Structure 1
């Protein structure tokens, strides 16, 4: 069979928001059952980069803008915007977050969702200053070429104030919850929740830390290795594997087990 050209991997950002309250927790959201991607799954907030995330005007309202590599700027804006749209949390400098009234943020969130307001205009009008340095690179995953829908996803780690309340948008996201990484993994193993392959491995990486400071320190010291999982044939069948130097240890899982564990959330591509 003639091979088709792989779908383009769309640039995207995902955010691991962590806090100590007093236990180490990460914010996770549940995707709507009608979503076209990862329906019903427990995931980290995030989404694809939008054209407005590339606006040069962001340099006026982001502290540390010029210290961020040019190819990372839109990704970081997408991370900040998606977290606000999905959970209502503003990843801004602390004083700016407090000064932005809850009612103002709620109204802006609705207007952005309805297309009546863009995120940059909201930030400017509310006098919000974002801190680009708060976002610590955590991982980089690219969806395998065999998949029909592909993302080039950069994961970021950020510490948030424990008093901030996350509220799902009720559309793409049906629930937002703070949860210990180990507990999220347990729920996935017990098949009580859908936890996809990339999410599960990044939860395992996060669970190696005992608190926010340790997680930030580990992320800052760990080199980011791009992960593009592969399907390989073994004597016992096909397995899903990732590069050994990616920081996740040796990963080689039977494809059938991955699909079953993730409630069939992983599409198994046909052989060409």
Structure 2
């Protein structure tokens, strides 16, 4: 049976952006990615380990409108939000053309935390956005009424290369920042050391196949982004939550009673 149950909700979806930030592993081996642990009191994914990101603000659209990117408006605003949220949550500067030192990154983050708007930070620091540095990877849009907030989230990849960077937690929404390989994050979740929600698990499984950032970027190019809306169906007499099998993901679902959904 395949009932593809995914009831539309009367609540509006919230546009959001998230970034998988890569760095070279300090001692070699698979690349590391940056994850944050959400504060438990957060209504969405409270206590879960996720990638940096958040909702797209009106100011992100305004900045996107002022740029000549060649991107569709919502896509440009989503990438602006990804840059802003990464700086706000982690202290990392991604998606700008100029080289950035640790002192400038700290200064920029302090300005952003005070104003909440990226444009004046860029002006003050003399930075220009390079939105092509963010690689479109996926888009997830669950539509289940049991989820507290429904986010339409675009996922991007960004590469730090050497990994000689400083990060610092934004304690307003998150409690921990950590670098890990995708495989190690999955193992930690299986041990119960961290909690991951269904979309994060599927994306970690996909990311665990990549030997480096170039491999991830090639995979993204080979699988043009399609909006993924999970549904439930019966498999072997059990309800499963599943996704399309042809979007680049090595695992297309899991039993519904094992899935964390936000």
Shared fold, TM over 0.5: yes
Tell me the residue number matched to 1:171: 172
Deviates more, 1:249-258 or 1:28-37: 249-258
Distance in structure 1 (CA, Å) of the matches to 2:170 and 2:214 = 29
Residues 91 and 97, structure 1, Cα contact 8 Å, conserved in 2: no
Pairing 1:74–2:77 present: yes
Seen in structure 2, the aligned counterparts of structure 1 residues 20 and 235 have a Cα distance that, compared at 3 Å, is closer
From 44, 47, 50, give the equivalent of 1:37.
44
Deviates more, 1:167-176 or 1:74-83: 167-176
Alignment map for 1:172-187 (pairs within 5 Å): 172-187=173-188
Seen in structure 2, the aligned counterparts of structure 1 residues 126 and 4 have a Cα distance that, compared at 3 Å, is closer
Residues 92 and 128, structure 1, Cα contact 8 Å, conserved in 2: no
TM-score w.r.t. length of structure 2: 0.87
Following superposition, the deviation at residue 256 of structure 1 comes to 1.0
TM-score w.r.t. length of structure 1: 0.84
1:177-213 CA-to-partner distances (Å, cap 9, x unmatched) read 1111100010011111101110011011111111122
| Secondary structure in structure 2 of the residue aligned to 1:153 | strand
Residues 63 and 119, structure 2, Cα contact 8 Å, conserved in 1: no
Residues 96 and 127, structure 1, Cα contact 8 Å, conserved in 2: no
Distance in structure 1 (CA, Å) of the matches to 2:239 and 2:46 = 25
Tell me the residue number matched to 2:132: 133
Tell me the residue number matched to 1:27: 34
Distance in structure 1 (CA, Å) of the matches to 2:93 and 2:236 = 50
Tell me the residue number matched to 1:158: 158
Distance in structure 1 (CA, Å) of the matches to 2:258 and 2:116 = 44
Pairing 1:112–2:112 present: yes
1:13-64 CA-to-partner distances (Å, cap 9, x unmatched) read 010011213331111111112211111111100001011001147645xxxx
Tell me the residue number matched to 2:226: 225
Tell me the residue number matched to 2:238: 237
Deviates more, 1:11-20 or 1:139-148: 139-148
Matched residues, number: 251
| Secondary structure in structure 1 of the residue aligned to 2:217 | helix
5+ unaligned residues in a row in structure 2: which ranges? 1-6
Following superposition, the deviation at residue 128 of structure 1 comes to 1.0
5+ unaligned residues in a row in structure 1: which ranges? 260-265, 268-272
Residues 83 and 90, structure 1, Cα contact 8 Å, conserved in 2: yes
Q: Which runs of 4+ in 1 moved over 6 A?
A: none
Following superposition, the deviation at residue 232 of structure 1 comes to 2.5
